[in-house]
Structure 1
Amino acid sequence: MRTAEPGIAPHGSAVAVDPARWPDVAGVPRASWPRTAVTGAVVRRALRRLPLRARFAGPDPAGARTVGLGGPLLEVRDPEAFHARIGAHGLVGFGESYMAGEWDAPDLVAALTVLAAHTADLVPAPLQRLRPLWAARRPEGERNTPDGSRTNISRHYDLSNDLFALFLDDTLSYSSALFRGFPASWDLLAAAQHRKIDRLLDLAGVGAGTRLLEIGTGWGELALRAAARGARVTSLTLSREQRLLARERVRAAGLTDRVSVELCDYREARGEYDAVVSVEMVEAVGDEFWPVYFRTLDERLAPGGRVALQAITMPHERMLATRGSFTWIHKYVFPGGRIPSVRAVEESVRDHTRLTVAGRDAYGAHYAETLRLWRERFTERAGEVAALGFDETFRRMWTFYLAYSEAGFRSGYLDVQQFLLTKEDRAR
């Protein structure tokens, strides 16, 4: 393995990587020349057919080689390391190569959007059929058992409340907003988040006296908004940092008599509620536990009640093709995460609950705009992120995560849905 000394950038990289903190970024996998050459040929073949320009550095500036049909530029500064990482670890290696500074793009989102739009055919069909042989498998320790879920959630959401506050708006909402039109601007984001929250509360029929269960507190904005309507809210989270700040916000709003924020797994929830709201939490459940999650919604909901569920989704065939895969997002951002398809949600509800999917709306373009605003804010405040102790490798990782996600929604590979689930009142 080719490694970098502490504080020294790998060859061809513009980033000084701390090998103690980022061992798989600091060290380039050792690969034989034939394997690297084959990977390079496969990568160039894939890029050659795409509407982008991939420029591979040569021994001198005049030796650079460009492939592609024209469009956004992807600039590979260290082709040897780039190919070695992809050859060894696929898309995980692609992300790690960006973290190491071995490639970059003047318009990162545009380049990633092209790649996201062609995800299904980037790898030749014969190699796709061999995916189980070469794709990394998810670590057993990241299964979303009760203990595993606590660890997985903590790794992302307990990073630092101050970090999230630097790029989120004043509502501290970390899910898709709902805008009135595009392009969106930062000064409209808080209102767009309230519009999203209000729509979910309306879907669930939340008003004065409603007993509301929220699964996934975030930093408490939905609970506060529901309590302001007169609801009595029990909100569940596994993040200690989020719970601490959410409780502070509840106290500051004078709503402690209406909102209870509990450090509790959804499987441990008790009681009966008139409404349940869960915003972009199902993605953290894991597909093996989707039946348990949806049964929990059913069991906690009173007859005649309503569930408002917001979920990121992906095409069903891609969900099946990537089942069990260990991705860059899993490794560095959302351990244990799994994005469902609309069909997977509908089948889980049908097969494991007494609930009915009574409505569904998609608005993925709004998530792309939300992510753009977060990414631009994060970039603008990079100095403040650094002051919190997050190094350049982390900042490149987070930039890649936000851009990668935005590209997913801009390409249509990802979408976001609001589902209304209802439960018949058999007593009527």
Structure 2
Amino acid sequence: MPSPAGVLSLPGTTPPAAVDHERWPDVATVPACSRVRAAVAELIVRRALARLPLHVRLRGGEPLGTGGPLMEIRDPEAFFRRIGAGGLIGFGESYMAREWEAEDLVGVLSVLAGNVAGLVPPSLQRLRGLWARRQPEAQRNTIDGARGNIHRHYDLSNDLFALFLDRTLSYSSAVFRGFPAEHSLLPAAQHRKIDRLLDLAGVGPGTQLLEIGTGWGELAIRAAERGARVVSVTLSREQRDLARVRIEEAGQTDRVSVLLRDYRQIEGVYDAIVSVEMIEAVGAEFWPQYFSALDRLLAPGGLVALQAITMPHERMLASRTTFTWIQKYIFPGGQLPSVEAMEQVTAAHTGLRTAGRERFGVHYAETLRLWRERFTERADEVAALGFDETFRRMWTLYLAYSEAGFRSGYLDVQHLLLTKEEAAR
């Protein structure tokens, strides 16, 4: 079938080796892209790479960059075409399709993350709304939409997460005593993180604690061991079921209830609320509802302790409506907040005020490195669970991309203490 006029049609543009077309349609086939758009993308990317501290080797072409980690582009035509058609989504899909490689993947991605603001010329950044894809309506975090979004990530397989997490099954940043860290230190580092949050929220004997986002139950167990009574809510059936098993094994079923419930459906009043890396799944549209729920559920004089991944405010504003590779493949409906955005929302919609913040992004970089290394070491076991090579490359890129974000300072993670000031309303 002939291609439409003006659309680049390349022979042999199906990626090498087998990519399951039914499971990965946008990876298995290089997308259509106008010649002009592909040429503009190539020009922009070449100019950006040429001035970065990278060594970029294009098959059949001159090297680019000023020296640094090696990025090998094995299929330049497909690589530039994907970026022309899908921007950073195309960049990620090109890696999934094995069209580019990097022995030091985190190193390459750290350079790109550290220079993200200058990769696209300011004139094109101002026209972002014209060329960048917008988040699809299906990923909006309505009550039904949030349930589906959470299912796509957290219900992949408990066995998959167990392969690279530590025995606490904590899927959030740990807090280490020193660096470099080792995987054997992760359980203690995760407990250190949990204890800091519980201390921040003043959780002790008799505390009525609400946890929004159960994970696999470690924080709830830890709080119950302090004598608190815990209601923990999640939208993941897989997590709910395993958390209940782990809570029973810990002998804390009389102190912990795990409910399959959206934060907007929670009732009651609690002395303390803790939520670990949950706000990232809420979506900017629903931040007012999220913080209003915290305000409504918190008793006068109560405390809220949040662990939140954050990004610079100006980058959040520039990208908040853009559909990203992470949203398409990893966290549908996700949106990282800035500290300024959270403070603006709480000031406008609630009586909650930020009483303290602590940043520890370098600890997340180490946590992610340990997860990534364990995931790579256990690739055969991941495959045995039914996850193909394209999934494994996708997951490796996700872990490396996230680690690079924290190493470069593009991302941060913070503990925030919120207090309820009735007079401020």
Matched, 1:174 2:158: no
Distance, in Å, in 2 between the alignment partners of 1:371 and 1:122 is 25
Say how many residue pairs are matched: 414
Picking from 26, 48, 68, the partner of 1:46 is 48
CA contact (8 A) 2:14 2:29 kept: no
**Contact 1:313–1:340 (CA under 8 A) maintained in structure 2:** yes
Counterparts in 2 of 1:129-144, with a 5 A limit? 129-144=126-141
**Correspondence for 1:83:** 80
Q: Secondary structure at the match of 1:224?
A: helix
Matches within 5 A, 1:6-405: 13-58=15-60, 64-405=61-402
Contact 2:209–2:228 at 8 Å: present in 1 too? yes
Q: Single out whichever of 351-360 and 87-96 deviates more from structure 2.
A: 351-360
Shift of 1:12: 8.3
Partner Cα separation in structure 1 for residue 36 and residue 199 of structure 2: 60
TM-score (normalised: structure 2): 0.95
Range that drifts further, 355-364 or 28-37: 28-37
CA–CA distance in 1 between the matches of 2:140 and 2:320?
A: 13
C-alpha displacement at 1:338, in angstroms?
0.5
Q: Distance in 2 between matches of 1:211 and 1:149?
A: 26
Q: Give the CA deviation at 1:14.
A: 5.0
Paired residues of 1:304 and 1:425 also in contact (CA < 8 A): no
SS at match of 2:353: strand
Q: Structure 2: how far apart are the matches of 1:324 and 1:253? A: 43
- Return the letter of the residue paired with 2:18: A
Letter in 2 for 1:378: F
Tell me how far apart the structure 2 counterparts of residues 273 and 18 of structure 1 sit (CA, whole Å).
Answer: 48
| Amino acid in structure 2 at the alignment position of 1:416 | V
Q: CA deviation at 1:33?
A: 3.9
What is the alpha-carbon distance in structure 2 between the residues aligned to residue 251 and residue 339 of structure 1?
34
Identity across matched positions, percent = 72
Amino acid corresponding to residue 16 of structure 1 in structure 2: A
One-letter code aligned to 1:278: S
Kept after mapping to 1: 8 A contact 2:181/2:366:
yes
Structure 2 runs not aligned, ≥5 long: 3-11
The alignment partner of 2:63 has SS state of: strand
Q: Is the 8 A contact 1:220 1:250 kept in 2?
A: yes
CA distance in 1, matches of 2:224, 2:34: 61
Rounded to whole Å, the distance in 1 between the matches of 2:397 and 2:16 is 15
**Retained in 1: the 8 A contact 2:13–2:30?**
no
Paired residue type of 1:128? Q
Task: Give per-residue Cα distances to partners, 1:54-95, cap 9 Å, x unaligned.
Answer: 11001xxxxx42100100111000000001100000000000
Superposed CA RMSD in Å reads 1.4
Give 1:130 shift: 1.2
Q: How does the TM-score come out when normalised to structure 1?
A: 0.95
| Helix, strand or coil at the partner of 1:65 | coil
- Measured in 1, the distance between the counterparts of 2:93 and 2:317 equals 25
Following the alignment from structure 1 to structure 2, what is the Cα–Cα distance between the partners of residues 148 and 214? 21
Q: Secondary structure at the match of 2:302?
A: strand
Q: Distance between the aligned counterparts of 1:76 and 1:32, measured in 2?
A: 21
Q: Distance in 1 between matches of 2:316 and 2:331?
A: 16
Please give the alpha-carbon distance, in whole angstroms, between the structure 1 residues aligned to 2:335 and 2:352.
22
Query: Deviations along 1:257-309, whole A, 9 cap, x unmatched?
Result: 00000000000000010000000000000011101100111110101110000
- Stretch of structure 1 that moved more, 23-32 or 198-207: 23-32
Summarize the Cα distance change of 1:81–1:271 in structure 2 as closer, same or farther, 3 Å threshold: same
Letter in 1 for 2:232: S
Q: Deviations over 1:28-67 (max 9, x none)?
A: 0123444333321211001001111111001xxxxx4210
Cα distance, 1:13 vs. partner? 4.5
Return 399-408 or 25-34, whichever deviates more: 25-34
Task: Tell me if structure 2 keeps the 8 A contact 1:13–1:77.
Answer: no
* 1:129–1:321 Cα change, 3 Å: same
Q: Equivalent residue of 1:358, what SS?
A: strand
Using the alignment, how far apart are the partners of 2:199 and 2:315 within structure 1? 32
| 2-structure distance, mates of 1:186, 1:310 | 22
| Post-superposition CA distance 1:239-269 (Å, at most 9, x none) | 0000000000011111110000000000000
Q: Secondary structure at the match of 1:340?
A: coil
State the Cα distance separating 1:352 from its structure 2 match.
Answer: 1.2
Q: Is the 8 A contact 2:232 2:259 kept in 1?
A: yes
User: Aligned-pair distance for 1:353?
Assistant: 1.0
